[in-house]
């Protein structure tokens, strides 16, 4: 819903609330409902919007690495503000997939130094509001390195890059990381389906 529509709705609700109060015949439920609606709309209007440059597809940002949550998600401190980043094109084991989740997170921490800036190439936003970005530490593609190390899989639903697929094939053949032995860690998406939160 755009801001102009929210403002019109807020104005209309305030007018109806005032008319209901003047009539003295309004149900307390109506008055309470209208008051709650006005408060909710006011809250929505005053929420800070994510910086457009941090979410615009194709934008390139230079940021410092904040915390690393898992093998494919971290916080970046950018000039535009704090951005929660989902690394493009990979799917890492969940933290509850022991010990694979911890190993994957440590691998990403090793690639993304908190001392050196990273470059983000914004690809999209995901369903959780995270900025999906290809992440470069120096000239290295961190997502591709995670796949090469066997610490993440190619997220085939969103990434059809032959370079990533080749890296995964090589990691499988060399039995690196999650490919060292068979198990649920090799398909994080399937593990999530079988283990809902």
* Catalytic machinery residues: 86, 94, 130
- CA atoms of 103 and 98, how far apart (whole Å): 9
CA distance 100 to 93: 6
Query: Do residues 150 and 164 make contact, with C-beta atoms less than 8 angstroms apart?
Result: no
What is the token pair recorded at 131?
Answer: 């900025």
Whether residue 159 contacts residue 89, with contact meaning beta carbons closer than 8 Å, is answered with yes
**Which structure tokens are listed for 85?**
């980043």
Q: Please answer whether residues 135 and 112 qualify as being in contact, where contact means their C-beta atoms are separated by less than 8 angstroms.
A: yes
CA pair distance 126, 129, nearest whole angstrom:
5
Q: With beta carbons less than 8 A apart as the criterion, state whether 82 and 66 touch.
A: yes
157, 102, 100: which is closest to 124 by C-alpha? 157
Tokens of 104: 């994957």
């Amino acid at each position: 819903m755009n801001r102009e529509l929210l403002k019109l709705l807020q104005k209309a609700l305030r007018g109806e609330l005032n008319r209901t109060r003047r009539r003295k015949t309004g149900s307390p439920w109506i008055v309470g409902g209208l008051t709650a609606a006005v408060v909710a709309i006011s809250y929505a209007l005053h929420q800070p919007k994510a910086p457009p440059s941090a979410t615009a597809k194709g934008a390139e940002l230079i940021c410092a690495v904040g915390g690393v949550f898992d093998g494919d998600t971290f916080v970046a401190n950018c000039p535009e503000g704090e951005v929660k980043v989902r690394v493009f094109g990979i799917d890492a084991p969940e933290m509850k997939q022991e010990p694979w989740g911890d190993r994957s997170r440590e691998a990403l921490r090793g690639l993304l130094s908190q001392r050196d800036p990273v470059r983000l190439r914004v690809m999209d936003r995901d369903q959780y509001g995270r900025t999906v970005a290809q992440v470069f530490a120096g000239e290295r593609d961190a997502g591709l390195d995670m796949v090469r190390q066997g610490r993440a899989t190619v997220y085939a639903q969103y990434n059809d890059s032959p370079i990533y697929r080749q890296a995964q094939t090589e990691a499988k053949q060399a039995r690196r990381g999650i490919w060292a032995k068979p198990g649920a860690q090799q398909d994080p998406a399937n593990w999530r389906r079988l283990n809902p939160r």
